Structure 1
Amino acid sequence: MVSHGGNERTLRTGLREIDRMASALGLPQAVTETGSMVYRRIHDEGFLHGRTIEGCASAALYAGARIERIPRGIAAVVCVSRVERKRIERAYRAMLKEFRLGVPPVEPTDVLPQILTAVDASSETESAARQLLREAMSTDTFVGRYPGGVAAGVVYCGAVRPNRGSHRQNSPLQRGSPR
């Protein structure tokens, strides 16, 4: 009978956790693979020492979603994880600091599809919102702003625009945001 060391068991357990959570969240395979690669890396470099397998697996999955630009908040990962939010956040911050994973910041374009789906926006509203967001992003008006709020704002503006023509002479985005 072949016995596997605790190190290999730890790796298998973490990868199974990532698969389970990704499945529960309905994440694409690319996210699962990226999260698994992150987990393997932190496992191989001894990062797990003193941390829970589940917390690190949850943080790796969250990092995988961020790297693949699939907008899932940490709250979504917490809902399917077996550990509390604090442990996941702590592991995620430490992973970012120690491994420089190249996690891009969340952009409004990343969360726009979720918001459009959540409000069951018409195709006309969706088109207007995407155009408004392109305009906003080209002017750097919203750099560093809360991406979910910006995306929700353009959906709202796209929905209430009385003139849906391509010329947006009096667009709230062209006037600038109130400070």
Structure 2
Amino acid sequence: MSSQTVQTALSAATPGCPECGGTLDSSGRETHCEDCGLVTDQDQIDRKPEWRTYDKEEQQRTGAPRTATRHDRGLSTNIGSVDSVDISPRRRRRLARQRWLHGRTKFDSKRDRNLAHGLGEIRRITSALSETRSVKEQASTLFREAQNEALLVGRSIEGGAAAAVYAACRCNGLVRMDTVATVARCSDSHIWNCYRTFLVELELPIPVPLPVEWGARICSDLPFDIAPDIRQRALELAEQETESAEINGRPDGIAAGALYLAGRESDTRLTQATISETVDLHTKTIRLWFQHIEKHMAE
């Protein structure tokens, strides 16, 4: 018999310390004597509730935090796999059937099942795009609100989930539709349809992108490095056109035209075709905004 077993037995038989008869303290993960320091039990399981406050009058039992990325807010339980456990085949089949029945009873209706499928698609898309947890929760909340407003009736769940992710990314920064469509399981037309519906019906506060923001992104996405003076000049032109009331239009076109004009001013070979491939615009669009900016600068 080991010394730990003997000490445990002695501590269970005697209410005090087996050495000096002092008081035993079991408040931590070990039981020790307050007088002589003898450890009578260690590595014991703490079966008391987990408290979130140090005030005994306000102590409450808590669990995992609630999350909007789950259809049940993260309060459900799962029956794990027993493949690594040595049990009989009969009990293994029984646990497999209990796991199947438990999975069927987690959803009260078809609505909850569709919600779980949509939130799972949101988690998959945000993970593929390497988005933050805040974007994931915001997209999940948006998808839940769209389902409550019956905006997903007649539309695919995959399209609604991708539109929710696109809207959440637009609220937190710049993102392209083709970036979301490449990892979504539907076409970009379905995503645009759902996104326009969310934008109108839910009154989403989508910020308007500025040409300055697009200018910095275009310079970073080019297949070659841009000189710092050209980058700075392009951002200055984009900022001037942003403050001007005469130049109004799509911000990516204005930023592309400003970058092309900055390249021409510094005698750098920066073609419209190269910029159009980076920003996904037609060369005629870049040439049109370049002419507008050049004419406005001449005036």
What TM-score, normalized by structure 2, do the two folds share?
0.50
The equivalent of 1:137 in structure 2 is: 242
The alignment status of 1:176 with 2:296, answered yes or no, reads yes
* Counterpart residue type for residue 159 of structure 1: G
The equivalent of 2:195 in structure 1 is: 92
Distance across 1 between alignment mates of 2:171 and 2:210: 12
Do 1:14 and 1:54's aligned partners in 2 also have CA atoms closer than 8 Å?
A: yes
Match of 2:174 among 71, 79, 83: 71
* Counterpart residue type for residue 244 of structure 2: T
The correspondence of residues 139-154 of structure 1 with structure 2, limited to 5 A, is 139-143=244-248, 145-154=249-258
The correspondence of residues 47-66 of structure 1 with structure 2, limited to 5 A, is 47-66=151-170
The alignment status of 1:126 with 2:246, answered yes or no, reads no
Distance across 2 between alignment mates of 1:114 and 1:41: 32
Q: SS of 2:181's equivalent?
A: helix
Unpaired runs of 5+ residues, structure 2, are: 1-101, 268-291
Change (3 A) 1:28 1:133: farther
Q: SS of 2:230's equivalent?
A: helix
Q: CA deviation at 1:65?
A: 1.8
The alignment status of 1:37 with 2:141, answered yes or no, reads yes
More displaced, 38-47 or 54-63? 38-47
Do 1:128 and 1:158's aligned partners in 2 also have CA atoms closer than 8 Å?
A: yes
Match of 1:105 among 208, 225, 232: 208
Change (3 A) 1:112 1:19: farther
The alignment status of 1:17 with 2:121, answered yes or no, reads yes
C-alpha RMSD of matched pairs (Å): 2.5
The equivalent of 1:167 in structure 2 is: none
Change (3 A) 1:160 1:28: farther
More displaced, 148-157 or 98-107? 98-107
Q: CA deviation at 1:142?
A: 2.4
Distance across 1 between alignment mates of 2:136 and 2:216: 20
Instruction: Please tell me whether Structure 1 or Structure 2 has the larger radius of gyration of its CA atoms.
Output: 2
* Structure of greater relative contact order (alpha carbons < 8 Å, 6+ residues apart): 1
Q: CA deviation at 1:42?
A: 0.8
Do 1:66 and 1:104's aligned partners in 2 also have CA atoms closer than 8 Å?
A: yes
Change (3 A) 1:142 1:30: farther
The equivalent of 1:166 in structure 2 is: none
More displaced, 105-114 or 56-65? 105-114
* Counterpart residue type for residue 31 of structure 1: V
Distance across 2 between alignment mates of 1:137 and 1:75: 25
Do 2:216 and 2:235's aligned partners in 1 also have CA atoms closer than 8 Å?
A: no
Q: CA deviation at 1:175?
A: 4.2
Distance across 2 between alignment mates of 1:38 and 1:118: 30
Q: Percent same amino acid among aligned pairs?
A: 29
Distance across 1 between alignment mates of 2:296 and 2:140: 42
Do 1:135 and 1:173's aligned partners in 2 also have CA atoms closer than 8 Å?
A: no
Q: CA deviation at 1:80?
A: 1.0
Distance across 2 between alignment mates of 1:98 and 1:47: 8
Do 2:261 and 2:294's aligned partners in 1 also have CA atoms closer than 8 Å?
A: no
Q: Between Structure 1 and Structure 2, how many residues are aligned?
A: 168
* Counterpart residue type for residue 125 of structure 1: I
Q: CA deviation at 1:100?
A: 1.3
